[in-house]
Chain A
Amino acid sequence: MSLYDGIFYAFAIITVVSAFIVVLSKNIIYSAVSLFITLFGVAGFFVLLHADFIAVTQIMIYIGGILVLLIFGVMLTTKITDVKLKTKNINALTSAIFVIGITAVLIFIMLTTNWKVAEVVKYDETIDKIGVLLLTDYLLPFEIASIILLIALIGAAMYARKSK
């Protein structure tokens, strides 16, 4: 087992366990903190997959943006000291059966499919390649994405406003 493998398993365990905590924790703040660890683990996977730029983006946007946003949502909608902070699961058993079923199916498909694995290409840096691609081949999606973000911004601001 090489160092790479060791790091991978470490990240895998961290990620999956913290993800379980996210879902199963009764306290929503715990969930949020665990989500932080999960997202960090995913960023680790990205590094292992030689996607350094995506890893950094993951940390900055998910952890710096989305997670903070979620915690803001928690604080705006529930009083911290309230009992309601602790939330319950519903239909936990049936849901668990369904979810385990679909996860099993997914893993089954992944393992039985004969994936075509090509020679691994190593990149020193991906940032310049991504930058070039974003402004050449993916220019239109890139611009549309910016418009979508603008619309989301305006829409969110309008929608979250207290109705009169």
Chain B
Amino acid sequence: MDNPLLYLSISVLFIPIISFLILIFFGKRLPRRGDWLATGLLFLNLIISIIILIGLTNSGVYSISFEWFNLGASPLFGELRFSAGFIVDELSAIMLVVVNIISSFVHLFSIKYMEGDKKYHRYFAFLGLFTFSMLGIVLTNNLLIMYVFWELVGVSSYLLIGFWYEKKAPYEAAKKAFIVNRVGDVGFFLGILIIFTTLHTFNFSEIFAGVEAGRLSGGLLTAAGVLLFCGAVGKSAQFPLHVWLPDAMEGPTPVSALIHAATMVAAGVYMVARKFVMFSPDALTVITYIGAITAFIAASIAITQNDIKKVLAYSTISQLGYMIMALGIGAYTYAMFHLVTHAFFKACLFLAAGSIIIGMHHKQDVGDMGGLRKKMPITYYTFLISTLSICGVPFTSGFLSKDSILSASLAFANINGGFHYIIPVVAFGVAALTAFYMFRLLIKTFYGEPRNKEAYDHCKESPFVMTAPLVGLAILSFFAFYTPNPFNAESGWLVKMLEAPEMILAGTSGAVYKILPKVEFLEAVHHAHYTAMFLSLLCAGIGILAAYLFYHWKKVNVKKLTETFNPIYKFSLNKWYFDELYDKTIISGTFLLTRVSNWFDKYIVDGLVNGSGSFTQFSSKVSGKFDNFFVDGLVNLTGGIVAFFGLIFRKIQTGRIQTYIAFLIFGILILFFIFRDML
């Protein structure tokens, strides 16, 4: 118990909730409505989490469980013991730092962004609540507790997306996000139930031990893995549940940066990584292909969107698809590495977008922008650095992590062969698309002539509290923070720290592919690395070049191109008609079901109820008659007898206690003479 990591992790977890509680109850009365308090506490939290990360290298993994409550023995599951606990290992420590860095920067940024809002203090309170629940997911060593925090994250996301609930779009978006997430969470919950019914525990290490012992195997293990992954599909906005994330951009932009780009959506990836060792080959196949499909769909949508935040949202989905895909092919380390780097540069992009939106007086359409480079130089340079990073240009962090994933995907295809080559093809294609749409966004926003003269004239650079987080996050997008070698991350501390655990089912093969032991896999990745690096640079170069050709040098007539490929363009612009599809099938299906159940309720259930009601009425009339004449007669007779004896016995009541005692003694004597034989 005397491990300092325990106290530090407890304080890291509870500082944000303290911030939440103070601000939600007293925020209105605090000076400046408490923003300094929330921001200060979060920076304190950041410092503590860095201490934890450093302390971890000295003390090793720390995990503690304690019994939460005990429901006693049950016939089905044996003893129902529910525990809770912390785990501080490399994975959670790095996530702690990432979440806290972005959360504290977002707090700082929001001071200016949300200035003058009516619910200013409540906004910061919700940020605290979100940070608390996210850190809860990161720190727990227990599936049930993780589920609780998982839902808390959903709630705080709901509160923040719908922060401006006076307007229609945000609350619709909040509702949509919450409901779509719920679909995934049902799967997650079913997965938890499968694990609990077979292994009787929620603790991660006990679950892994149970899987290793073979108490959960075969189809059930695959089902559990896929169902747990469903939770990640919802939270990390994977196909087919990705539709909520673009709508969630209705929330305040710093919130989009914190929740819908860097941390909450990464929770799904984190969750899969946490349980990485227990997935079966078939479950991993599902994960791989879902990730690849998501990456491709989102990238294809992003190239035609015109809302700056929507483009970033789809790019987020696409990058999350990358991470999920990387987890599926077994590249645990690279997925988490990409999660970290992506968190920084995507948060930077979103905050830069927020800065632009403030500068443009809440205009988000890139059609209104252009030429902002001169007006907002700091925003421009930070945006440029993050864009280079996401495109995978050398000397950036994005290059390192993306390159690792790409080489892993190539290695995966080399090992398994066959139609699995589609995975690296999609991955490289998406890399090219990413470079294209990000530079499209950059050129349309910052280069060329201003398209909206009035907005351009009023536009100016954001103040220091907004640019400082931008600069901070942009600096974190350089390679030097992660590795000394700008072309290979293998020797960097982060990759070493996030060393992949050996899969429990390593060496077994599923229906379509085989999990390799870690050493063999790393060997293959190493082998594929230079090919992959060359190809990824080529893809990024093609994408960037195409973007310049299309939008900057105007060598290609974009309008003509879109008219030629009108159906494809429309398809992408309308987001593959996913919303319409869901509207036609699931939502109208639900409405049909409600109408049918309404009819059933009205005519059949109500009919039964009314029928039994009138029957009861009839029988009550009959029993009423019986009651009046027969029962009442008996009761009155009894009463009369009692009254008669009462008249006699009231003489005995003198009101003198001593008389009563005398009678008592007399009674005892009589009893004695009756029972004297028994003495």
Q: Which residue of A lies closest to B668 (CB)?
A: A102
Q: How far is the CB of A60 from chain B (nearest CB, A)?
A: 30
Q: Say if the beta carbon of B672 comes within 8 Å of chain A.
A: yes
Assess the B679–A109 pair: CB atoms within 8 A.
yes
Give complex CA distance A127, B669 in Å. Answer: 40
Cβ-neighbour of A102 out of B658, B669, B679 (below 8 A)? B669
B662 at the interface (CB under 8 A from A): yes
List residues of chain A with CB within 8 A of the CB of B665: 98-99, 101-102
CB <8 Å contact, A94 and B662: yes
Chain B, range 656-677, C-beta contacts under 8 Å to A: 658-659, 662, 665-666, 668-669, 672
CA of A95 to CA of B662 in the docked complex: distance in angstroms? 7
How far is it, in angstroms, between the C-alpha of A131 and the C-alpha of B665 when the chains are bound?
A: 38
Establish whether residues A91 and B662, one from each chain, have CB atoms under 8 Å apart when the complex forms: yes
Shortest distance between the CB of A89 and any CB in chain B (Å): 10
On chain A, the residues within 8 Å of B672 by CB distance are: 105
A112 interfacial contact with B, CB 8 Å: yes
User: Within 8 Å of chain B (Cβ to Cβ): is A113?
Assistant: yes
**Within the complex, what minimum Cβ distance (angstroms) separates B403 from chain A?**
74
Q: Contacts of B658 on A, CB cut-off 8 Å?
A: 90-91, 95
Contact call A98/B679, Cβ cutoff below 8 A: no
Contacts of B662 in A (CB 8 A): 91, 94-95, 98
Q: Which residues of B contact A94 (CB under 8 A)?
A: 662
A8 to B658, CA, bound (A): 34
A95 to B666, CA, bound (A): 10
B338 to chain A, nearest CB (A): 65
Choice from A90, A98, A109, A112 contacting B666 with Cβ under 8 Å: A98
Q: How far is the CA of A102 from the CA of B672 in the complex (A)?
A: 9
Q: In the bound complex, do residue A112 and residue B669 qualify as a contact, i.e. CB atoms below 8 Å apart?
A: no
A95 to B656, CA, bound (A): 14
CB-nearest residue of chain A to B672: A105
A113-B679 contact given A90-B658, A94-B662, A98-B662, CB 8 Å threshold? yes
> Per DSSP, are chain B's interface residues mostly helix, strand or loop, or mixed?
helix
Q: Interface majority SS on A: helix, strand, loop or mixed? A: helix
Q: How far is the CB of B669 from chain A (nearest CB, A)?
A: 5
Chain A residues touching B, range: 10 to 19
Within 83-105 of A, Cβ neighbours of B (below 8 Å) are at 90-91, 94-95, 98-99, 101-102, 105
Per-residue CB contact flags for chain A residues 98-127 toward chain B (1 = under 8 Å, else 0) read 110110010001001100000000000000
Residues of A within 8 Å of B666, CB to CB, are 98
**Nearest CB of A to B672, in Å:** 5
In the complex, which residues 622-679 of chain B have their Cβ closer than 8 Å to any Cβ of chain A? Answer: 658-659, 662, 665-666, 668-669, 672, 679
Q: With A90-B658, A91-B662, A95-B662 given, is the CB distance from A101 to B679 under 8 Å? A: no
CB distance from B666 to the nearest CB of A (A): 6
With the chains together, A112 CA to B678 CA distance in Å? 12
Complex: A90 Cα to B668 Cα, angstroms: 21
> Closest chain B residue to A112 by CB distance?
B679
With both beta carbons as reference points, the residue of chain A lying nearest to B664 in the complex is identified as A98
A95-B657 Cα distance, complex, nearest whole Å: 13
Q: Give the nearest-CB partner of A98 in chain B.
A: B665
Select the residue from A90, A105, A113 with max chain B CB neighbours within 10 A.
Answer: A105
Q: How far is the CA of A98 from the CA of B659 in the complex (A)?
A: 12
Q: How far is the CA of A137 from the CA of B672 in the complex (A)?
A: 36
CB of B299 to closest CB in A, whole Å: 74
CA distance A99 to B664 in the complex (A): 11
- B659 contacts across to A, CB distance below 8 A: 91
Query: Which B residues are in CB contact (< 8 Å) with A91?
Result: 658-659, 662
* A113 CB contacts on chain B under 8 angstroms: 679
Alpha-carbon distance A17/B493, docked complex (angstroms): 102
A residues less than 8 Å from B669 (CB atoms):
98, 101-102, 105
CA distance A106 to B646 in the complex (A): 34
Using Cβ atoms and an 8 Å threshold, which residues of chain B touch A101? 665, 669
Residues of B within 8 A of A105 (CB): 669, 672
Closest to A95 in B: B662
Cα A94 to Cα B658 in complex, Å, equals 12
Chain B residues contacting A112 (CB-CB under 8 Å) are 679
Report the minimum CB–CB distance from B418 to chain A (whole Å). 77
Q: How far is the CB of A137 from chain B (nearest CB, A)?
A: 30
**Complex Cα–Cα for A90 and B659 (A):** 10
CB distance from B104 to the nearest CB of A (A): 54
Q: Bound state CA distance, A95 and B663, in angstroms?
A: 10
A91–B661 alpha-carbon span in the complex (Å): 12
Residue of B nearest to A102 (CB): B665
A113 to B665 CA separation, bound complex (whole angstroms) = 22
**Which residue of B is nearest A113, CB measured?**
B679
CA distance A113 to B679 in the complex (A): 8
CA of A6 to CA of B365, assembled, Å: 118
Beta-carbon contacts of A22-44 to B below 8 Å, as 1s and 0s? 00000000000000000000000
Interface string of A119-152 (1 = CB under 8 A from B): 0000000000000000000000000000000000
The CA-CA distance from A105 to B662 in the complex, in Å, is 16
CA distance A102 to B667 in the complex (A): 11
Expressed in whole angstroms, the minimum distance between the Cβ of A99 and any Cβ of chain B is: 7
Minimum Cβ distance to chain B for residue A54 (Å): 28
Q: Measured between C-beta atoms, what is the minimum distance from B678 to chain A in Å? A: 11
Residue of A95, A98, A101 ringed by the most chain B CB atoms within 10 A: A98
Closest to B656 in A: A90
A22 to B665, CA, bound (A): 21
Chain A contacts of B668 at CB under 8 A?
102
Bound-state CA distance A101–B672 (Å) is: 11
In the complex formed, the residue of A with least CB distance to B659 is A91
- Distance in angstroms from A142 CB to nearest chain B CB is 32
How far, in whole Å, are A99 and B659 apart by their CA atoms in the complex? 13
User: What are some 22 contacts across the A-B interface (CB < 8 A)?
Assistant: A90-B658, A91-B658, A91-B659, A91-B662, A94-B662, A95-B658, A95-B662, A98-B662, A98-B665, A98-B666, A98-B669, A99-B665, A101-B665, A101-B669, A102-B665, A102-B668, A102-B669, A105-B669, A105-B672, A109-B679, A112-B679, A113-B679
- Given A95-B658, A98-B662, 8 more contacts at CB 8 Å? A90-B658, A91-B659, A95-B662, A98-B669, A102-B665, A102-B668, A102-B669, A112-B679
Per CB-CB distance, the 8 closest pairs between chain A and chain B, nearest first, are A98-B665, A105-B672, A101-B669, A102-B665, A98-B662, A102-B669, A98-B666, A109-B679
